[in-house]
Amino acid sequence: MTSFPTPSLAPFPGIVLTLTFAATLTLGVSQPLGALSALQDAPPAAMDTLQQAPLGDTLAPIPLEGVLVDILRSPIRTGASPFAVSALGEELRTRGRSDSSVAELLHGLPGVQIQNRFNDAVGERISIRGFGARSQFGVRGIRILVDGIPATLPDGQSTLDHLDLGTVGRVEALRGPGSALYGNAAGGVLDFRTQAPPASPVRQEVRVTRGDHGLSRTQSTTSGSMGEVGYLFNVARYEWDGYRTRVGGEEGEVYGKSLRDHLNSQITFPLGGGMARLVLNGVELDGENPGSLNAADIALGDRRAFPGNVNQGTSKQVRQGQAGLQWVGPVGDTREVEVSTYGIRRELVNPIPGTVVDLDRSALGLRTLLRSDRQSSFGSVWWAAGAEADLMRDRRLNFGNVGGEPGELRLDQSEQVLGGAVFVQALLPVSPILQVMTGLRYDRIRFSVDDRMAGLPIGENGAVRADGSGARTLDSASPSLGIHAALHPAFGVYMNLSTAFETPTTTELANRVDGVGGFNPDLDPQVGVTSEVGARGVLLPAAAWEVTFFHTLLFNELVPFEVETDPGRTYFRNSGRSARTGWEVALQVTPDPNLSARLVLSTNDARFRNYEVDGIDFSGNRVPGIIPRRAEGMVRVGPGLWFMELRGETNSSIQVNDANEPGSASPGYQLLDFRAGLNEARLLGLRMSPFVGVTNLLDTEYNSSVVVNAFGGRFFEPGPGRSLYLGASLAVQR
């Protein structure tokens, strides 16, 4: 069992200001438990109505109520939450999207930043308040759910390969530690939900997008409702040639192609007095990894692929299938139970610099949750208690990389992660204007490994390979406490104190500089404490705002690095102590139903407080990979027959290594995007929606992402230039 240092709370050194587009204030508290069933598993027509609620849509006038969210385990309105939560509804995102990146789903969320690497072999780097910025691939530090099924496995690693962007209808976000609710997440929680089927018996839609760099996406969605039964079946193919020049190749030849095939289906139906949802999805992905560049290569301006990556065929091939079943039903008049189970099968072949990783993964899990709700003289009182169990088994083979093909076997081991947790949470109104939310979660995660190469001879001197087999158990109790005071129908304040618990993943544990099998015994989980103070309000009927201050103190922060003997492969170490504070500002103004504007500003002062490597003291330096200052603005015209949107962002320079070497930072940049189109024009019974979009309208040269502590100065991943895409959807609904 791993023990953790006892953190002490530092004084609040900064303030975070967040003005959100959808977080208007209400004096009410959470809705009855029946609202949860309506939100999750109601008849499809009701779900469709809820998912298109006015506050999920920036185009609608701003009412004096917050949108109902379920990310806090029980339904509560954003305006009454003592934690920083946000929600995006379907109408906010669907018009004019290219559906090529998850970044399009998360624009305008306070505290959420995406470094889009335009590289399906590693995926977008999503971070909340800087957590997740170190990710070598996939998503780290954030708990992610897709239709109630965890995309974050028991070791804390998330992948979004299976998320079909064209059918997402809702996103809820919890900013700040999610450990007390979801476990093994330091930055927060993202909950993606597939769009609700329409109330009509059948709707058939075909959506086609074509664009620069070989962009091609075709999607077919069949959905509908028959009484209380709703269904959705979707297939999609996405192709992308990329823009990274292949050095030494023919003129115009690039390296960075990607092909994704998606299958996504679900059905909701009544069962045992409640509602059930069956989810099935699959993905097959083949993507090339053009790699990162040093400053000299970036200065050439040709956005080239790194020749070493091309020569070694760095890429990722994935096949994944996933199934989940969720049931929600009443137990008596005031209680409700939720039971969900899932299973995942994933096959991965991943040539990276110097190594070919061959991974077979199986995972399954079970979750139960009991909720109770009753009315008191001061409002709604509810509590939720639950338990979770997850099992993941991997067979990991590492080979030498010979031109992208497996060479000599270097690692052969079986890995298992068994996670279990229990938690409880309650909302208690203590006066007509004051309510308290408190929670406690205990996680226990056991990592075990069987080194199948132990005892094999090494070289010709009679030496044998050491046995890396063994097990580690990591556990933590994660409490949280939040208070909300509704001081006025248009103004309220809140504060909370939460803890964070984040283990290393199996990949981070298995990557050992010494080359020995098994798990790294020196790599510990990171833990932290976050304090937060905020306020929300409404300015007349046309504007809404939210203000949040956060300060996070971390122990044993996980820091990536590379070594000279194995460049391009990421290893991890613990830093000691670090801290993060910042400002986030977002403001939504909707003076007219056909005109809206939104502005989001944020800062994040993330610094090492106690960190030394090989006698070099990095204390006081900025944590690399985290954007210190960022602003995003959006102006939207519509809805009506047509819509138009102009979106801009500006990002400050980003430190790329622990030393913060002068002149090494990735420069700041500004981007401007545009999209426009028609909103389901009717013709001969058909619903047509043509659209056009231009990304990087000013053709800015910039680095879309950085690789932290990369060897040889290869920190930078260049973004594409000006890019045009065209598309249209055609639908028939009966």
Residue with tokens 């309510």: 435
Does residue 27 register a pLDDT over 50? no
Domain-embedded: residue 268: yes
Q: pLDDT band at 57, cuts 50/70/90?
A: very low
Total domains in the fold of the chain = 1
Per-residue pLDDT tens for 368-387?
A: 999 998 877 777 788 999 99
For residue 362, CA distances in Å to 5, 468, 475 come to 34, 22, 23
pLDDT at 334 over 90: no
Residue 13 has a pLDDT of: 31
Which of helix, strand or coil describes residue 509?
Answer: helix
Residue type at position 216:
S
Report the range out of 151-165, 279-293, 453-467, 634-648 with the highest average pLDDT.
279-293
Q: What is the DSSP string of 542-571?
A: GEEEEEEEEEEEEES-EEEE--TTSTT--E
Residue 519, in any domain of the structure: yes
Min mean pLDDT across 343-347, 427-431, 514-518 is at 514-518
Phi, psi for 166 (deg, rounded to 5)? -75, -15
Residue 270 or 679, more confident: 270
Percentage, residues of the chain above pLDDT 70: 90
Q: Could you tell me what percent of the chain has a pLDDT over 90?
A: 55
Omega within 30 of 0 (cis) for the link into 177: no
User: Does any domain span residue 332?
Assistant: yes
List the beta bridge partners of residue 501. Answer: 527
What per-residue confidence (pLDDT) applies to 94? Answer: 58
* Model confidence at 425: pLDDT above 80: yes
Q: What is the pLDDT of residue 577?
A: 92
User: 90 falls in which pLDDT band (50, 70, 90)?
Assistant: low
Check residue 245 and give its pLDDT.
96
Q: Is the pLDDT of residue 367 over 50?
A: yes
Give the CATH number for residue 662. Answer: 2.40.170.20
Does 30 score more than 50 pLDDT? no
The count of C-alpha atoms lying within 13 angstroms of the C-alpha of 583, restricted to the half-sphere facing its C-beta, is 8
Query: In 3D, which of 671, 456, 549, 635 has the Cα closest to residue 84?
Result: 549
Of 152-161, 285-294, 319-328, 708-717, the range with the lowest mean pLDDT is 152-161
Largest Cα–Cα distance of the chain, in whole Å?
81
pLDDT of 25: 30
Look at 181-185, 449-453, 710-714 and tell me which has the smallest mean pLDDT. 181-185
List the Cα angle 28/32/33 in 5-degree steps. 145
Give 5's pLDDT tier (boundaries 50, 70, 90): very low
Q: What is the mean pLDDT of residues 420-444?
A: 92
Among candidate residues 347, 350, 351, the one with its CA nearest the CA of residue 360? 347
DSSP assignment letter at 282? E
The secondary structure of residue 65, as a DSSP letter, is: S
Whole-number pLDDT of residue 356? 96
Residues 226-247 have a mean pLDDT of 96
Measured CA to CA, the distance from residue 137 to residue 534 in angstroms comes to 33
Polymer length of the chain: 734
Whether 435 maps to a domain, the answer reads: yes
pLDDT, tens digit (0-9, with 9 covering 90-100), for 452-497: 998 888 777 778 888 889 999 999 999 999 999 999 888 999 999 9
The continuous run of DSSP H or E covering 307 comes out as helix 307-311
> Is 1 within a domain?
no
Q: Return the pLDDT at 96.
A: 86
Q: Which two tokens stand for residue 60?
A: 């609608």
Cα-Cα-Cα-Cα dihedral sign, residues 80, 84, 89, 91: positive
Q: Among residues 122, 245, 167, 60, which one has the least CA distance to residue 569?
A: 122
Q: What is the mean predicted confidence (pLDDT) over 644-667?
A: 94
Backbone angles phi, psi at 90, to 5 degrees: -60, -45
Burial state string for 17-47 with b = 16 or more CB within 10 A and e = fewer than 16: bbbbbbbbbbbebbbbbebbbbbbbbbbbbb
Phi, psi of 124, deg, nearest 5? -70, 145
pLDDT at 81: 87
Among 56-60, 321-325, 340-344, which is the least confidently predicted range? 56-60
Average pLDDT along the chain = 85
Three-state secondary structure of 569-616: CCEEEECCEEEEEECEEEEEEEEECCEEEEEEEEECEEEEEECEECCE
**Which of 84, 63, 187, 109 is CA-nearest to residue 493?**
84
pLDDT of residue 624: 93
Q: Which residues on adjacent β-strands are paired with residue 311?
A: none
H or E, element range at 227: none
- What global pTM score does this model have? 0.87
Angle between helices 33-41 and 44-51 (to 10 degrees): 100
User: How confident is the model at residue 640, as a pLDDT?
Assistant: 78
pLDDT of residue 92: 57
Beta strands in 38-197 (DSSP E): 68-69, 76-77, 84-88, 112-115, 125-128, 142-146, 149-150, 168-175, 188-194
Give residue 625's domain range: 33-733
- Over residues 289-317, mean pLDDT: 95
> Is there a domain that residue 701 lies in?
yes
What gap in Å lies between CA 300 and CA 153, rounded to an integer?
41
Using CA atoms, how far apart are residues 700 and 721, in angstroms rounded to an integer? 6
- Top pLDDT among 368 and 138 is at 368
- Cβ partners under 8 Å of residue 682, min gap 6: 688
Residue 19 has pLDDT above 80, yes or no: no
The confidence score (pLDDT) of residue 585 equals 84
pLDDT of residue 91: 57
Neighbours of 125 (CB within 10 A): 26
Indicate the Cα dihedral angle 346, 349, 355, 360, nearest 10°: 30
Backbone angles phi, psi at 103, to 5 degrees: -60, -30
- What are the tokens at 523? 């790599």
Q: pLDDT: is 159 or 392 the higher one?
A: 392
Q: List CB contacts of 678: < 8 A, sequence separation 6 or more.
A: 641, 642, 643, 688, 689, 690, 691
Q: Can you give the three-state secondary structure of 654-723, one letter per residue? A: ECCCCCCCCCCCECCEEEEEEEEEECCEEECCEEEEEEEEEECCCCCCCEEEECCCCHHHCCEEECCCCE
pLDDT for the residue numbered 79: 79
Res 44: pLDDT:
34
Q: What is the full DSSP assignment across 101-127?
A: -THHHHTT-TTEEEE--S-TTT--EEE
Tokens 């990991």 sit on residue: 396
Confirm whether 61 is domain-assigned: yes
Give the model's confidence band at 110: pLDDT under 50 very low, under 70 low, under 90 confident, else very high.
Answer: confident
Say whether pLDDT at 286 is over 60: yes
**Is residue 227 a contact partner of residue 236, using CB atoms and an 8 Å limit?**
no
**Confidence tier at 683 by pLDDT (50, 70, 90):** confident
> Which residue, 429, 369, 357, 367, is CA-closest to 397?
357
Quick one: which H or E segment has residue 257? Answer: none
* Strand partners of residue 649: 632, 671
Over the stretch 587-633, which tens digit does the pLDDT of each residue have?
889 888 888 899 998 989 999 999 999 899 999 999 999 999 999 99
User: Residue 54's pLDDT is what?
Assistant: 32
For residue 262, give every residue at least 6 positions away whose Cβ sits within 8 Å of its Cβ, in sequence order, or none: 162, 164, 234, 235, 236, 237, 238, 281, 282, 283
Please tell me the distance from the alpha carbon of residue 671 to that of residue 689, in angstroms, as a whole number: 26
